């Protein structure tokens, strides 16, 4: 069943149940009030009858006295303790009431009774009779007019319930359409996206400010993310294909040269083998970096331990100096112990130092300090710097600031992307400040707790 039909069905059933319950409540309350009012009125008349009879009991004959007080649609009688009726008097329309079962009550009695499919009010009051014995003065009066009114009320409520179901059904149908409109629009948009392959958004009315608007905004935001990721994926595949195609082309060219002239010309043989080996190493490094970037955060196998940041930086700098024979100055403000993955942090430092080496021929400065309860490592170079336009793109995969340095420097454009990933899994932040022809400063901020 579609969501719209479910909302329509459930809403209609709920409203109908509430309407029936409300009408039942109205009917039973009205019934109680009407019947109780009749009983109170007849009881009051009976009590007045008792007062009048006490004054005239020994003056007027019993039958005439009772006939004077008989209701127009009922009966009045006197019942003794041995359950005998003395002179029962009925109205002309209620002759059958004389056959009503005789019962003597020690106290007052008032109730609603049914006799021959008619409803009556029955009142019994004990009084002292002429022989000074206690008898019951019983008055039976028809309350059929009130019952007829209740029947009419019941029919009216039933008709009202049936009539009210029409606007309830129509309004619930309108409500279900209104509620499911954004969902329907979303389904249509998603179907259109699936068929056309183009990313589209749904129109959102921001005036209502309800959950449906939030759902629409969330959907549009999700489409924005999907489109951005799709574009990045296309760029990534295109760039990766290009980067892998270049070494393969070089290897193929040198392999063909080896086949033609390698056996007779040793210089060409050595050049070809070195070029093939170099490109194979470069391609292997590229593939490893691509696999590294493809990992999810939970697959990085983080092994945290207590690390002395100053010692780690000093050891990393010494190793870097020996490998590349570069001058690096370390400025240390204190000792900092943090809980992190030592190997991943070392890898992050090597990536930043390697970038500083490639784009600067002068001394590299490394600063170790703290700021806002975080351990800060700053690596600064005095190289070519980065323009403001390129600064926002340096963490994109395969992006190079200096297009002329591409493969001659052995770079793949993935270093800073990997550095960003490593910083994320370590819970660190990576900020980059740069100015053209003056240099670049990369700041790594690590939580100390």
Task: Dig out the tokens for 7 from the structure.
Answer: 């909302």
293 Cβ neighbours under 8 A, 6+ residues apart? 397, 414, 417, 418, 421
What local confidence, expressed as pLDDT, does residue 406 receive? 44
Q: Tell which phi-psi region holds residue 33, choosing left (phi > 0), alpha (psi between -120 and 50) or beta.
A: alpha
Q: Output the pLDDT for position 294.
A: 60
Query: Does an H or E element contain 206, and which?
Result: none
How many Å apart are CA 167 and CA 411, to the nearest integer? 72
DSSP percent split of the chain into helix, strand, coil, nearest 5: 55, 20, 25
Angle between helices 3-56 and 62-69 (to 10 degrees): 150
- Hey, how many other C-beta atoms are within 10 angstroms of the C-beta on 333? 11
Query: Residue 261: what pLDDT?
Result: 79
Backbone phi, psi, residue 385, to 5°? 75, 180
Q: Is the CA virtual torsion 22, 23, 28, 33 positive or negative?
A: positive
Return the axis-axis angle of helices 415-425 and 342-358, rounded to nearest 10°: 150
> Range(s) for CATH 3.30.565.10 in the chain?
303-447
Residue given tokens 């060409």 in the structure block: 268
The strand pairing partners of 127, in sequence order, are 135
What dotted CATH number matches 303-447?
3.30.565.10
Is the Cβ–Cβ distance between 81 and 104 less than 8 Å? yes
Give, in degrees to the nearest 5, the angle at Cα 20 between 17 and 24.
140
Instruction: Report the chain (449 residues): mean pLDDT per 10 consecutive residues.
Output: 77 87 92 90 87 72 77 88 81 86 89 89 87 86 90 92 86 80 78 79 72 79 83 69 70 82 79 80 70 57 86 87 84 88 86 85 90 90 82 70 48 73 86 87 88
- Determine the topology of domain 211-294 in CATH: Helix Hairpins (1.10.287)
Q: Which residues, in sequence order, are bridge partners of residue 331?
A: 367
- Residue 365 β-bridge partners: 329, 380
Domain 3-151 coded CATH 3.20.20.70: no
CATH code 1.10.287.130 region(s) in the chain: 211-294
CATH 3.30.450.20 domain span(s) along the chain: 3-151
Q: What is the pLDDT of residue 168?
A: 84
Quick count: other Cβ atoms within 10 Å of Cβ 318? 12
């Amino acid at each position: 069943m579609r969501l719209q039909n479910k909302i329509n069905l459930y809403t209609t059933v709920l409203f109908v149940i509430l309407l029936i319950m409300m009408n039942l409540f109205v009917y039973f309350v009205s019934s109680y009030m009407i019947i109780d009012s009749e009983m109170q009125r007849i009881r009051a008349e009976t009590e007045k009858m008792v007062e009048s009879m006490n004054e005239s009991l020994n003056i007027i004959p019993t039958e005439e006295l009772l006939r004077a007080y008989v209701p127009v649609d009922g009966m009045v009688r006197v019942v003794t303790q041995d359950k005998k009726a003395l002179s029962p008097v009925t109205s002309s329309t209620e002759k059958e009431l004389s056959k009503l079962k005789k019962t003597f009550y020690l106290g007052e009695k008032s109730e609603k009774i049914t006799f021959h499919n008619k409803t009556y009010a029955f009142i019994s009051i004990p009084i002292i009779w002429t022989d000074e014995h206690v008898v019951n003065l019983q008055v039976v009066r028809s309350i059929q007019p009130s019952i007829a009114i209740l029947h009419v009320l019941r029919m009216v409520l039933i008709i009202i319930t049936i009539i009210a179901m029409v606007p309830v059904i129509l309004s619930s149908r309108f409500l279900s359409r209104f509620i499911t409109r954004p969902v329907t629009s979303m389904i249509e948009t998603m179907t259109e996206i699936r068929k056309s392959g183009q990313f589209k958004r749904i129109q959102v009315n921001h005036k209502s400010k309800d959950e449906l608007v939030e759902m629409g905004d969330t959907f549009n935001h999700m489409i924005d993310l999907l489109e951005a990721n799709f574009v990045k994926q296309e760029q990534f595949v295109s760039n990766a294909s290009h980067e892998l195609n270049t070494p393969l082309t070089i290897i193929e060219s040198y392999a063909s040269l080896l086949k033609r002239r390698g056996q007779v010309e040793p210089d060409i043989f050595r050049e070809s083998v070195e070029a093939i080996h170099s490109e194979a190493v470069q391609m292997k490094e590229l593939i490893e970096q691509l696999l590294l970037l493809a990992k999810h955060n939970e697959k990085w196998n983080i092994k945290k331990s207590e690390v002395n940041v100053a010692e780690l930086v000093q050891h990393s700098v010494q190793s870097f100096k020996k490998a590349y024979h570069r001058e690096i100055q370390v400025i240390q403000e204190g000792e900092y112990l943090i809980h992190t993955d030592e190997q991943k942090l070392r890898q992050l430092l090597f990536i930043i130092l390697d970038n500083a080496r490639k784009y600067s021929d002068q001394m590299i400065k490394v600063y170790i300090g703290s700021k806002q309860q975080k351990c800060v490592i700053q690596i600064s170079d005095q190289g070519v710097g980065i323009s403001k336009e390129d600064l926002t793109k340096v963490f994109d995969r395969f992006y190079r600031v200096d297009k002329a340095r591409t493969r001659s420097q052995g770079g793949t454009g993935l270093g800073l992307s990997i550095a960003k990933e490593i910083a994320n899994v370590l819970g660190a932040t990576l900020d980059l400040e740069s100015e053209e022809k003056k240099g670049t400063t990369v700041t790594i901020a690590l939580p100390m707790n």
